[in-house]
């Protein structure tokens, strides 16, 4: 039989009716017989287009509150019977099964119901049964039937109807079938993850239906792709295409800034903060953040948690950077910062709702809960004779937020809610401390009265001893070493106030 098929009949059952009108009118123009039910049938009737109810085809009404409408042999037989099989044709004729040459479906919005926090009873009712079954049936029989599985395919369908004048090729139908199985598998994954949200089943399933090609991967010789809805989180106001490394830095930046409530500016390089400060106004926070390491800031990623005004933009504009992220920009600031065409400006609209993070390794995927723990002053447990002053305690919390987002082993030095120096990604904690001290010294910071944060416990007293000689007045660390008492004794000898949090913040 010919691989080109003419569409003579269609079954339409959709949740969203947007952009459907032009398709209905085109099908009517092509003299295609339309079957439908429920709200979709009413919509078609309001357009003045003839439509046959599914109920008249099946001799069964919509029952159980609409749970069962299209689940009937005459419906699925009309979709699934093979037109080139003589026995199938005979059975279709014997049982009065009509041809259904095309199926147009838009599923109940299950994921939207989950995202909106609807009660479980409402979420369960958004699990589409008939629609998903029709999609799979039509896709399976793509040699004879065209399947349109979601609103996203409407534009392509209309183009096809206009150019093909009601005829489709095998290639057309196979392409739409692939889209159909993409829709059905994504839908089923969302349902599974909803039911498995407590992870009773040790199963990893993720599905992304949107993606973008990146300039390249981590290096120019590597191909790079991003799967996810970037536009859901950001408006891109300016700049070149986003790279793989940009995405890593953007992710690190928004996770870091989310832990700060005061006006805060951070400068990141290779996923680590090289400058960060909180202040009463954003311009001052920017100047202090930049002062933390003006050398590393070149070509960095900048992030703020307040609107960028013109005064702040003028200061930022003096620096070459890759990406600037903020919740908003004044018109004057945006106009100024858009002056350089390659500079990426992102207006952040939200934060990722994901509760877990995962990465590929070996021959599988490792999954963990995100580190959402953020210690407060009340969570600091003094273990030394001298307790931190109020200003030291606030700086300890500030420094601990930064070290949480720094690559391990990590040490952060801060004073007056300004990052003075950090050491990260080192194979020993002593090396991380020495790196942090050297950074602070390079940019002429006075460490007398500064505080130190460590992402994990001190295995030996050496870090406390070195910190005391450098003028550090207070230390925050998780505690938990068998030799904690040695570090406590070293702090007592140097009149350092040390507090434990009981929470480790390794980041690899």
Instruction: Write the DSSP string, 137-172.
Output: HHHHTTTT-EEE-SGGGHHHHHHHHHHHTTEE-HHH
CA atoms within 13 A on the CB side of 8: 9
Query: What torsion, rounded to 10 degrees, do the Cα atoms 81, 83, 89, 92 define?
Result: 40
DSSP 8-state code for residue 500: E
- Residues pairing with 411 in the sheet: 423, 454
> Distances in Å between the alpha carbon of 63 and those of 59, 60, 78, 372?
12, 8, 21, 46
Instruction: Give how far Cα 353 sits from Cα of 115, 190, 233, 349, Å.
Output: 9, 14, 10, 12
> Which element (helix H / strand E) includes 497?
strand 497-500
Catalytic residues: 140, 270
Cβ atoms of 434 and 423 within 8 Å: the answer is yes
Q: Which 3 state secondary structure label does DSSP give 456?
A: coil
Of 249, 265, 245, 248, the residue nearest 257 (C-alpha): 265
**C-alpha–C-alpha distance, residues 138 and 145, integer Å:** 6
37-44: long-range contacts at Cβ-Cβ below 8 A with a sequence spacing of 24 or more?
37/13, 37/62, 37/69, 37/70, 38/13, 38/62, 38/66, 38/69, 40/12, 40/13, 40/14, 43/17, 44/12
Question: Where is 233: in which H helix or E strand?
Answer: helix 230-233
Give which of 147, 119, 115 is closest to 131, Cα–Cα. Answer: 147
Give Dmax over CA atoms of the chain in angstroms: 97
Cβ(437)–Cβ(470) below 8 Å: yes
Q: Identify the sign of the CA torsion 422, 428, 429, 434.
A: negative
Contact present, 406 and 422 (Cβ < 8 Å): yes
pTM: 0.85
Q: Are 104 and 44 in contact (CB under 8 A)?
A: no
User: pLDDT digit of tens for each residue in the chain (508 aa)?
Assistant: 568 999 999 999 999 999 999 999 999 999 999 999 889 999 999 999 999 998 888 877 777 877 877 788 888 999 999 999 999 999 989 999 999 999 999 999 999 999 899 999 999 999 999 999 999 999 999 999 999 999 999 999 999 999 999 999 999 999 999 999 999 999 999 999 999 988 888 888 888 888 889 989 999 999 999 999 899 899 999 999 999 999 999 999 999 999 999 999 999 999 999 999 999 999 999 999 999 999 999 999 999 999 999 999 999 999 999 999 999 999 999 999 999 899 999 999 978 777 888 999 999 999 898 999 999 999 999 999 999 999 999 999 999 999 999 999 999 999 999 999 999 999 999 999 999 999 999 999 999 999 999 999 999 999 999 999 999 999 999 999 999 999 999 999 999 999 999 999 999 9
b/e map 142-158, b = 16+ CB within 10 Å? bebbbbbbbbebbeebe
Question: Integer distance in angstroms from the first to the last C-alpha of the chain?
Answer: 59
Give 28's contacts (C-beta < 8 A, 6+ positions apart).
Answer: 34, 49, 50
CA distance 351 to 343: 22
Nearest to 204 by CA among 445, 435, 368, 382: 368
- Helices vs. strands in the chain: H and E counts, helices first: 19, 23
Angle between helices 170-195 and 130-140 (to 10 degrees): 140
């Amino acid at each position: 039989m010919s691989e080109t098929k003419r569409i003579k009949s269609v079954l339409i059952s959709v949740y969203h009716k947007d952009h459907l009108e032009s398709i209905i009118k085109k099908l009517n123009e092509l003299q295609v017989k339309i079957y439908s039910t429920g709200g979709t049938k009413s919509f078609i009737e309001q357009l003045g287009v003839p439509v046959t109810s599914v109920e008249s085809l099946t001799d069964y009404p919509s029952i159980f509150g609409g749970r069962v409408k299209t689940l009937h042999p005459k419906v699925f037989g009309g979709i699934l019977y093979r037109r080139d099989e003589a026995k199938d044709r005979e059975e279709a004729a014997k049982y009065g099964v009509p041809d259904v040459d095309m199926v147009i479906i838009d599923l109940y919005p299950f994921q939207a119901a989950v995202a909106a926090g609807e009660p479980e009873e409402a979420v369960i009712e958004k699990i589409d049964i008939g629609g998903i079954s029709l999609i799979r049936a039509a896709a399976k029989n793509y040699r004879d039937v065209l399947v349109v599985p979601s609103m996203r395919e409407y534009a392509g369908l209309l183009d096809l109807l206009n150019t093909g004048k009601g005829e489709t090729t095998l290639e057309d139908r196979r392409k739409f079938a692939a889209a159909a199985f993409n829709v059905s598998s994504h839908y089923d994954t969302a349902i599974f993850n909803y039911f498995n949200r407590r992870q009773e089943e040790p199963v990893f399933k993720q599905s992304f239906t949107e993606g973008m090609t990146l300039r390249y991967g981590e290096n120019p010789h590597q191909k790079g792709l991003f799967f996810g809805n970037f536009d859901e989180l950001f408006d891109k106001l300016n700049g070149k295409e986003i790279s793989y490394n940009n995405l890593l830095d953007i992710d690190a930046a928004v996770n870091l800034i989310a832990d700060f409530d005061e006006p805060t500016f951070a400068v990141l390089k290779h996923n680590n903060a090289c400058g960060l400060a909180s202040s009463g106004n954003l311009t001052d926070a920017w100047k202090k953040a930049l002062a933390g390491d003006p050398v590393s800031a070149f070509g960095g990623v900048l992030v703020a948690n307040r609107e960028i005004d013109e005064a702040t933009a003028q200061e930022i504009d003096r620096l070459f950077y890759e990406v600037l992220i903020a919740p908003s920009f004044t018109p004057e600031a945006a106009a100024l910062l858009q002056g350089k065409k390659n500079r990426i400006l992102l207006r952040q609209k939200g934060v990722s709702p994901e509760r877990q993070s995962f990465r590929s390794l070996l021959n599988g995927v490792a999954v963990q809960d995100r580190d959402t723990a953020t210690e407060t002053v009340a969570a600091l447990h003094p273990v030394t004779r001298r307790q931190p002053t109020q200003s030291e305690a606030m700086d300890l919390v500030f420094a601990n937020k930064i070290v949480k987002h720094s690559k391990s082993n990590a040490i952060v030095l801060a004073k007056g809610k300004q990052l003075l120096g950090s050491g990260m990604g080192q194979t020993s904690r002593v090396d991380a401390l020495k790196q942090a001290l050297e950074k602070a010294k390079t940019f002429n910071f006075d460490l007398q009265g500064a505080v130190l944060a460590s992402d994990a416990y001190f295995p030996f007293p050496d870090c406390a001893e070195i910190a005391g000689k450098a003028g550090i007045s207070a230390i925050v660390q998780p505690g938990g070493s068998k030799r904690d008492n040695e570090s406590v004794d070293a702090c007592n000898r140097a009149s350092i106030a040390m507090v434990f949090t009981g929470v480790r913040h390794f980041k690899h």
